[in-house]
Every structure is written in C-alpha cells, then in structure tokens.
Chains A and B, each alone.
Chain A
Amino acid sequence: MALRNIIGKRIGNGIGLVGRRSLSTATCDVENRNSKSMNLYSAINQALHLALETDPRAFVFGEDVSFGGVFRCTTGLADRFGKARVFNTPLCEQGIVGFGIGLAAMGNRAIAEIQFADYIYPAFDQIVNEAAKFRYRSGNQFNCGGLTIRAPYGAVGHGGHYHSQSPEAFFCHVPGIKVVIPRSPRQAKGLLLSCIRDPNPVVFFEPKWLYRLAVEEVPEHDYMLPLSEAEVIRQGSDITLVGWGAQLTIMEQACIEAEKDGISCELIDLKTLMPWDKETVEASVRKTGRVLISHEAPVTGGFGAEISASIVERCFLRLEAPVARVCGLDTPFPLVFEPFYMPSKNKVLDAIKATVDY
C-alpha cells in the first residue's frame, strides 16, 4: 500500500508532464501560469467553486455535501455560496437524480453527487429513462443539459462489493448522456468544468483511488478541456493501449516495463467514454497494428468490448493480433480477493507481450 502511494504520486506527476504532446487534435490549452500542486479532490473542489461562482443558477447537492462530503470534494462550498445552493439531500438516489433533472429542465445547472458509484443504481431509471431522453422526447422544447452527476467509482483497495464498482459500461449503452472519466487532478478540473457547462446531461466518474494519491500541478484559473477528444499520453510504435481513470496509472507502469523489453507502447486516455473519440484511437491503431484495452470493470460487456468491436470494424486489415482486453474478472467485486480480481500491471504486461508476439 505504501509503495503504491509513492508510485501513484510519481506516476500522477509523470502523466501530467508527459501529456503535453498529443497526436489527436485535443490541445491541452492549459498554460502553466499560477499552478499549484494539489490532489484530485482539491482539483474537483476548485472546479466546483468556479462553476458556482460563474453561474448564479448552479447548485450542488447530494448526500453529506454540505460538510464537505465523505471525500472532501465539496468543502467550503456551503460556507461560501450558502445553503440555498449547496445542500444535503435525504438518502434517496432516485430522488436526487430526478430532482436534478427537474432543476436542469428549468434552466439551472444541477450538479448532483452520488456518494459512491455503487449507489447509482436506484437512480439508473431516472438517468436512462428521463435524463437521456428528455430532449429527444420533448422535441427539443426541454432539456436537462444542465445536469451533471458526479460519482466516485473504482477500486480503492479495501472497498469490497459496494464501494468499488465501475458502472461506466451501463451508462455508455444509453444514447443521450455523456460519460466522462478523468485520470489526474489537472484533467479532472478542466473536464469537470466542461461537463458542467456542456449542454448535455453528463455522468462524471471520479476514480476514488486517486483522490489523495494523485498529486499534480493544477492551474488555478478557470479552464476547460474539450470533451470527446482522447489524448495520447505516451507515444509508441508497437502497440496501442487504451484506458481511462486510475487504470492508466497501472498501464503506464506496464508500458515502462515493456520498454525494457524493447516494446514501444502508445498509451491513450479516452477521457470521454461516450461519445468516444474513435478517430484518435483508429489513427493510433493504424500506426501500431495492435491494441489492448484495460479497465477495472468485468470484462464481459465492459466498455472494452465496444472499443474492440469498433476498432475491428475500422482497422480489420491493419490488425496484426487480436484485440486484447485486460479487465476485471466476471465476478462481483470481491473483498479479500481484490488483488486477484484487478487487472494488475503483470496481467497487462503479459498481455502486451502476448499480443506483440502473436
């Protein structure tokens, strides 16, 4: 656990610095003026402060947000903006999201927090049946674009069944909502501000493992990062690795090890899962000819399946090996067996070698 702390910090920094050059059209228009070293929850906290500052009709609500939230992402908001704009809701996820849809439909920016992504399922009905279809059903008379749902997701080392799930695949299957997952503090702030200001409902998953572990230089001003643009965070020529969120940390480590064996890996952060940037990934696969996707969610039906199918469709003749997916096992997220369940660095490394040696 301690080792992971150190590595996490270093890689967090590493990813931040390496991510400047990118193959895609996504320009990281984040100048390094007045930046401060901070972790993920502080970056998100800053983004929320800016969002509420710049829009008087923005609201933040959820369970326990007024004292700062269980992960401290909402500290200081209630004191600064008042209880009319930052307030606790009772323990009813379905009610929270539905209420947020109503707020958004009347032109407000509703930033709803679901305490853990594992708890988002009661709200699933509202998200899928209402939020995703509001604009479509009403013929564009109403929309809930002002809705942003933030939820911490992913493994945390000791979370067990109900504090570690990665439900992004369920939401990617719904036309009408966007799904965004940041990998680091700097990305999180820019992406969250973009999500809040995007005229579509967005589900923003925050990797809870990185809340304290990822530390990076984050600019203090108001900046937005473009959605639906993937970023190549490491250049390579032998194999393309696609991932998002905390898993990129693991993949980065695997890339560094593979480098020692002479395999040059290209690492892509999808950032936005729905709608995802197919062009960037396709361009990269055309360069390398091999692709590996990795995520924490169970492999069957995970979002890696969608990426795999799309890539095969587009680049079939260019592919030199089958699309590899290194993901969680097809079991409920275990408690004691978490190290065996997770797509660890070794599993990724083995898959890289197997794919390259195909």
Chain B
Amino acid sequence: MGRMGFSPKHACLTDEKDPNRQKITNLTSCLLVSCQLNLHCEVRPPFSSKFPLPFFPSLPIGTKATKMSTAFSAANFSTQSFPLNHTSTTSHDSPLVFAKPTSQFLRSTRKLRLSSSSKLNLNRRSGTVVAVSDVVKQKKSKSTPTLLITKEEGLELYEDMVLGRAFEDMCAQMYYRGKMFGFVHLYNGQEAVSTGFIKLLKQQDSVVSTYRDHVHALSKGVPARAVMSELFGKTTGCCRGQGGSMHMFSREHNLLGGFAFIGEGIPVATGAAFTSKYKREVLKEADCDHVTLAFFGDGTCNNGQFFECLNMAALWKLPIVFVVENNLWAIGMSHLRSTSDPQIYKKGPAFGMPGIHVDGMDVLKVREVAKEAIGRARRGEGPTLVECETYRFRGHSLADPDELRDPAEKAHYAARDPITALKKYLTENNLASDAELKAIDKKIDEVVEDAVEFADESPVPPRSQLLENVFADPKGFGIGPDGRYRCEDPKFTEGTAHV
C-alpha cells in the first residue's frame, strides 16, 4: 500500500514532485485534477487540443471519449479535456487494474444513459461548463492571476476556519480539565471542507453531520456559546445539554444533527432533501430551492445505508450533496485496507450521479466544487457525490492515543494545513494584510474564551429535563398522580423509580 498508506492513485494529488500540484490553485486545475482521476481509468484522452470541446458533435459514438462523456454525463466537471502532459503522471498508474473492470462498467452505464435519452441534456450541460472553464483558461493564459474570492469572502472563510480550529483546541483543553466529558471527536485539519461547503449555504439549507460535528455547527451559524454549553452539558446548549458533543441540532440554522452512528444521518438527509423538492414541485413553492448537505467519512462509504441513499437520491433527483470527508482513517483502520476500491468518488456514477474528487485541504478548491454541486442541486439537476481528500490532525477522539498513523503521513498533511494555505493565498494576492488576519485571530480567541465563560456560568439542566421529550408531550410521562413531576418528588431516588 506504500509507506504513507497512499496507493498510486492518490499520488497525483499528494506527490510533492508533481508539477501539477504547484499549479493547482484555480478552478481549471481543480477540475483537471478531478478529471484525471475520473478519467485515468480510460488511460488516455482521444485528442490533444488544449481547449475543451463538446464531445458529441465532434466524435463518433463508440470512442472512449463518448463513453467517458456519456458515463459521466451528469458530471459537468469531467467533460473537460486537459493537455496531454498532465495525463502522463497518472496514465501509467497500473492501467491494467483500473481500465478493464471500469470500462465494462461504464459501458453498461452508457446503455442506460442513452436509453433515457438524456443526450440533449448532456450537450447543454457540458456546453455550460465548458464555457466557464474556457474563460478561466483563457484568462490564465494571459497570465493575470484569477482570484477566486473577493476580500470579504476571503476574510469570511479565514474567520470561519480559524473559529473552527480555535474552538476545537479549546475543546481539547476543556476536556483534559474535566469540564466536558464523554466521547469528543475533533475536527482539526478538516476545516476547509466545512467552511468550503457550508459558507455557500443559506440559512434554510440543511446540514446533516456525524459525530465530528462541532465545526459543522459553527460554520452553519450556531453560536460558539451554544455549542460550548452543549459540550459542557448545560441548559443553554443548543440541545439544552441533552445530546453533548455528538448530537448538535439547531432548528434555527437547520442543522439536522450530529449522529453518533456512522451512516445514520445519510437517510435523514435524503428525506430532508425530498421535502424541499416536494415543496418546490408539488406544493409549487417556486422559490424553495433548499439544498441538503450530508457529511460523512470514508468508513461510512462501506456501509449499506450509504449505498441505499445514493440510489434513492439519484432515482428521485433529490437536491442533496453527499460530501465524503475522506481522512483515510476509521479509528485505526486505514481506508485503503478496508475498501475494495478506495476511490470513493467512483461510487457516484455507479448510481447515476457525478462523482468528484477534490483536495479537501484547500478551501478554495472545495469552494469551487461546492459551488457547482450546490448549484446543480438548486437547479434541480439532482445529487452529487463529492469526495474531499482531507486529514484529521488529532486522533479519532480525545480518548484515542493516535499511535497507528505514520508520523510521515501526519507531517505531510500538517504541511498542507488549510488555514496556513488560505493565509498565504490572501497575503500573496494582496487580499488581506497580516495585521487584518491577526486581528481576526484575536477576535476569534475572544469569542472562544467568551463561549467558555458563558458555558461555565450556565446552569446545569434540572432533573425534570430527564423525562422530557421522550414522547411528543414535552413533559414526558413523568407526571405522578399528584400532578407534579415525579422527579421533583424528593422520594425520586427511592423505591423502584418507575415512571
């Protein structure tokens, strides 16, 4: 599997010596890279033109190009061409392993595609994205730097990521001081995914997360105070202290939870997505274009629920984006050793939706891919599977000694810290000065400190809360014959404690 646990197919993104990596700072390259991975199973492109062309008019049916385009028909991203020299880094990566099985598979998909007569759609879609990339490519060739974000956006992204990082670091401190307890899973290192995606959402869009949900909650807009109080188990927490670290919910911000169980949230997200589609199409609320994002990890992609939902979402063309935070490890199990085909994005086309791979340590790349995926969902074109290659700097949870991962691998990813990368981008492109960024750092530190103080001072939930919300009646069935809460009865701890 290689010293770093990377298979050759990952090398093109992570290889330091890869010349492509240095250039991967804009949309086109991002798409190119994702194309490489999507397409390298096809081994080589059928043409060498630099600029993308719509495939259908120019190529006869039956060539590999058509297969590619039809198979990934819904994938606007993968119909781009790329200069030949880019392919050389990937095309010799065990072509035998991937070419044969996948090409058969693609052929079968192609049949489905043609029979559903979606060719016209394909034309239109690939035409649209071609134009964008075309423009960007031309800009690039004039060697003026194309900035992907404005100053305000850049500062917003920076602030969000720093908030996530500072918050998680504070969580660790508080945990070791005994102020919070239970199983806490920190998000250090993966901030780019959360910020890149969630900052493009509106308040009515929904997010479904996993147990590693503090930063998703923060990005979605849940105040740091509420999250910290929830971790401390206080009444002022977002769930009134009921759930703790792994169960962040917020009706106001449409955060449908933290789920301790892997994969449990994905069907929930699918149902939420159906609701918005229903509202739009059946109830005719034309402006209802709410999107749902489901975040989950690499281990979850081997779970039955994941596949079931990919099928349902593609079948019903739901406005959902499945975001895989592939940090290569499921507690102590390497993704590469537990998955027959570790390239998760390939599982999207298997179900009829585009599958994209993106460098999850670069917030700008994630943001560009997210824009397109969320845009697709908003336009009603259906689901997308986005695999973000990312890494968690800490162990699985605060109870995990993190002894199993290769220090070289950790160092490799630590060098690609998303916050440092964004800082560099902002300062090099004169979008922000060091002083401004430091001011943001300071502000965030204050926010986090304030959150801790607030949580400390908040009251612990009363015992009556224990019996609330078991059923719809918020008082639960903990009412004794005298009409008071049973748990307010001083004899509550005596006897057989029936409710």
Complex interface residues of chain B between 279 and 326 (CB less than 8 A to chain A): 299-300, 302-305
CB < 8 Å neighbour of A347 from B262, B305, B332, B497: B497
Known: A63-B333, A91-B300. A334 touches B493 (CB 8 A): no
The residue in chain B whose Cβ has the minimal distance to the Cβ of A343 is B497
Q: Which of B262, B299, B497 has the most CB of A within 10 A?
A: B497
Interface residue stretch chosen among B114-122, B368-376, B460-468 = B460-468
Question: Contacts A91-B330, A92-B304 given: A351-B496 contact, CB under 8 Å?
Answer: yes
- Whether B493 pairs with A346 at a CB distance below 8 angstroms is yes
Stretch at the interface among A10-18, A131-139, A153-161, A247-255: A153-161
Across-interface contacts of A283 in B (CB, < 8 A): none
A106 within 8 A of B: no
Residue B498 at the A interface, CB < 8 A? yes
Q: A161 with B247: in contact, given A325-B496, A331-B476, A347-B496 (CB under 8 Å)?
A: yes
Partner of B260, one of A88, A162, A329: A162
Assess whether B487 is interfacial by the CB under 8 Å rule: yes
Closest to A348 in B: B496
Q: Which of A92-137 contact B (CB under 8 A)?
A: 92, 94-95, 118-119, 122
User: CB < 8 Å: which of B243, B330, B498 contacts A335?
Assistant: B243
B496 touches A336 (CB 8 A): no
Judge whether A336 and B241 touch: CB under 8 Å.
Answer: yes
A64-B331, A90-B302, A92-B304 as given contacts; A331 in contact with B467, CB under 8 Å = yes
CB atoms of A89 and B463 under 8 A apart: no
A160 touches B243 (CB 8 A): yes
What is the 8 Å Cβ interface bit string for chain A, positions 335-353, against chain B (1 contact, 0 not)? 1110011011011001100
Known contacts A90-B338, A92-B302, A335-B244; decide if A160 and B260 are in contact (CB<8 Å).
yes
Q: Are A329 and B499 in contact (CB under 8 A)?
A: yes
* Cβ–Cβ contact A332 & B333, under 8 A: no
Chain A binding surface, main DSSP class: loop
Pair A162/B246 contact, Cβ less than 8 Å = yes
A 146-188 binary contact with B (CB < 8 Å = 1; else 0): 0000000000001111110000000000000000000000000
In the complex, the answer to whether A161 meets B493 with C-beta atoms within 8 Å is no
Q: Report whether A329 and B497 are in contact in the complex, using a CB–CB cutoff of 8 Å.
A: yes
Is B429 positioned at the interface, with any CB of A under 8 Å from its CB?
no
Given contacts A122-B304, A346-B493, contact A334 B242 (CB under 8 A): yes
Q: Are A160 and B496 in contact (CB under 8 A)?
A: no
Question: Which of A63, A299, A346 counts the most chain B CB atoms within 10 A?
Answer: A63
Q: Contact partner of B470 among A95, A330, A337, A344, CB < 8 A? A: A330
Given A64-B332, A67-B332, A94-B304, are A163 and B183 neighbors across the interface (CB < 8 Å)?
A: yes
Q: A354 an interface residue at 8 Å Cβ cutoff?
A: yes
Contact (Cβ within 8 A) A64 B333? yes
Distance in angstroms from A337 CB to nearest chain B CB is: 4
The answer to whether A6 has its CB under 8 Å from any CB of chain B is no
The answer to whether B246 and A299 touch across the interface, beta carbons within 8 angstroms, is no
User: Are A335 and B304 within 8 A (Cβ)?
Assistant: no
Number of A residues, CB within 8 Å of B: 42
Q: Are B404 and A67 in contact (CB under 8 A)?
A: yes
In the complex, whether A265 has a CB less than 8 A from a CB of chain B is: no
> Is residue B233 within 8 Å, beta carbon to beta carbon, of the partner chain?
yes
Q: Does B182 contact A (CB under 8 A)?
A: yes
A90 touches B299 (CB 8 A): yes
Closest to A157 in B: B181
The B421-458 residues at the A interface (CB cut-off 8 A) are none
Report how many A-B pairs have Cβ atoms within 8 Å: 122
- A158 to B302, Cβ gap below 8 A? no
Q: Across the interface, which residues of A come within 8 angstroms of B460, CB to CB?
A: 336
Contact of B262 among A91, A337, A341 (CB under 8 A): A91
Contact of A160 among B183, B303, B466, B499 (CB under 8 A): B183
Assess A335 versus B242: contact at CB under 8 Å? Given A90-B302, A160-B182, A160-B260: yes
Q: Does B50 contact A (CB under 8 A)?
A: no
CA distance A92 to B495 in the complex (A): 41
Across the interface, name the chain B residue whose C-beta is closest to A164.
B182
Q: Does A44 contact B (CB under 8 A)?
A: no
B128 CB to closest chain A CB (Å) equals 38
For residue B174, give the distance in angstroms from its CB to the closest CB of chain A. Answer: 14
B468-499 CB mask vs A (1 if < 8 Å, else 0) is 00100000110000000001000011111111
Given contacts A331-B470, A343-B497, contact A160 B338 (CB under 8 A): no
Q: A324 — nearest CB in chain B belongs to which residue?
A: B496
Contact of B331 among A63, A92, A329 (CB under 8 A): A63
CB distance from B212 to the nearest CB of A (A): 14
Asked if B339 is an interface residue, CB under 8 A from chain A, the answer is yes
Bound together, the chains give a CA A118 to CA B182 distance in angstroms of 15
Decide if A70 is an interface residue (CB 8 Å cutoff): yes
Q: Inside 8 A of B305's CB, which chain A residues have their CB? A: 122
The answer to whether B466 touches A341 (Cβ under 8 A) is yes
The answer to whether residues A337 and B299 also contact, given A119-B261, A158-B182, A160-B246 and a CB cut-off of 8 A, is: no
User: Nearest B residue to A337 by beta-carbon distance?
Assistant: B466
The one of A90, A95, A159, A327 in contact with B182, judged by C-beta atoms closer than 8 angstroms, is: A159
- Whose C-beta in chain A lies nearest to the C-beta of B396? A70
B430 CB, nearest partner CB in chain A, Å: 45
- The yes or no answer to A307 lying at the interface (CB within 8 A) is no
A299–B499 Cα distance when bound, in Å, is: 9
Distance between A355 CB and nearest chain B CB, rounded to angstroms: 9
User: Is A350 a contact of B260 with CB atoms below 8 Å?
Assistant: no
Answer whether residue A246 sits at the interface, using C-beta atoms and an 8 A cutoff: no
Residues of B within 8 A of A63 (CB): 330-331, 333
A331–B331 contact, CB under 8 A? no
Q: Complex formed: what's the CA distance from A332 to B337 in Å?
A: 35
Is there contact, CB below 8 Å, between B233 and A336? yes
Check B466 against A88 for contact (C-beta < 8 Å).
Answer: no
A118 contact set on B, CB distance < 8 A: 260-261
A326 within 8 A of partner (CB) = yes
Instruction: State whether A91 touches B497 (Cβ < 8 A).
Output: no
Nearest neighbor of B494 in chain A, beta-carbon distance: A350
Give CA–CA (A238, B187) in the complex, Å. 55
Q: How far is the CB of A312 from chain B (nearest CB, A)?
A: 16
Whole-angstrom distance between the alpha carbons of A332 and B244 in the complex?
A: 14
Instruction: List B contacts of A325 (CB < 8 A).
Output: 496
Q: Mark A71-102, 1 if CB is under 8 A from B, else 0.
A: 00000000000000000111110110000000
For B466, the chain A residues whose CB sits under 8 A away are 329, 331, 334, 337, 340-341
B499 partner, pick from A70, A88, A91, A330, beta carbons under 8 A: A330
Shortest Cβ gap from B208 to chain A (Å): 16
**Choice from B260, B300, B476, B494 contacting A346 with Cβ under 8 Å:** B494
Chain B residues numbered 226-249 whose CB sits less than 8 Å from any CB in chain A: 233, 241-244, 246-247
Enumerate 22 A-B pairs (CB-CB under 8 Å) in ascending A order: A63-B330, A64-B330, A67-B404, A90-B299, A90-B339, A91-B263, A91-B333, A91-B338, A118-B260, A159-B182, A160-B243, A161-B243, A299-B497, A299-B498, A327-B497, A331-B466, A331-B467, A335-B182, A335-B241, A340-B487, A340-B493, A346-B493
Name A residues whose Cβ lies closer than 8 Å to a Cβ of B. Answer: 63-64, 67, 70, 88-92, 94-95, 118-119, 122, 158-163, 299, 324-327, 329-332, 334-337, 340-341, 343-344, 346-347, 350-351, 354
Closest A-B pairs by Cβ, 3 of them: A90-B302, A162-B260, A350-B494
Taking A64-B332, A67-B332 as known contacts, 9 extra A-B pairs with beta carbons closer than 8 A to each other, sorted by chain A number, are A90-B333, A91-B263, A91-B302, A160-B247, A330-B477, A335-B242, A336-B233, A336-B242, A336-B460
